[in-house]
Copies of this chain bind each other. A is one copy, B any other.
């Protein structure tokens, strides 16, 4: 996140693959792919939301992941002959498919492309682990601190908010009300300063 968050998420894609991408529009409820069908390649969500779900024998639906604009879907499935879950659009969405063939061709012909892909995945792993670690922090205030210190810019104390606070609340796993309150409290305690679209950590402490 902190690494790949800025700039195009697909920076690492070699032009040959990028050009081979095909867009596809889906309406709410449309399947992007279904379990046990052959895999097509790597999908990038351009717009909307795609949920990956597994249906238990009991009929219960278990959500594996919800992808939003900018996210990739089916990285792992690209290495598998068939899909292991269903992918369904929950809103009007647009996805871009990078066919498996062009992807692997690029990797084979261009080791740097492969390396870039690995690097992207590795950074994604790191980012996800960090977010998971964050969820182990129970106190809202500590969780917000964790986020702010990790996402501070070059000066080490200014965080630029990319989306709305509501979005941030979702990423932090807090209700938006809890986030507002926490931010208000921290500002009241002069721990942070709230600028337009930015949050600045006030003086070091401890």
Q: CB-CB < 8 A to A65: which residues of B?
A: 126, 129-130, 132-133
Verify B125–A125 contact, CB threshold 8 A.
Answer: yes
For A206, give its contact among B58, B79, B201 (CB under 8 Å). Answer: B58
For A118, give its contact among B54, B64, B118, B126 (CB under 8 Å). Answer: B118
Q: Given known contacts A56-B156, A114-B114, A118-B114, is B204 in contact with A129 (CB within 8 Å)? A: no
The reply on A76 being an interface residue by CB < 8 A is yes
Q: Which of A16-24, A30-38, A146-154 contacts B (4 or more CB under 8 A)?
A: A146-154
Q: CB-CB < 8 A to A149: which residues of B?
A: 54, 56, 58, 60, 62
Interface residue ranges of A52-96 to B (CB < 8 Å): 54, 56-60, 62-66, 75-76, 78-79
Q: CB-CB < 8 A to A131: which residues of B?
A: 132
Q: CB-CB < 8 A to A60: which residues of B?
A: 145, 149, 204-206
Closest 5 CB pairs of A and B: A58-B204, A121-B121, A79-B119, A128-B128, A76-B122
| Chain A residues near B (Cβ < 8 Å) | 3, 54, 56-60, 62-66, 75-76, 78-79, 104, 107-108, 111, 114-115, 117-119, 121-126, 128-133, 135-136, 145-146, 149-150, 152, 156-157, 173, 201, 203-206
7 contacts between A and B (CB under 8 A): A56-B152, A57-B204, A58-B203, A60-B205, A62-B146, A114-B114, A121-B125
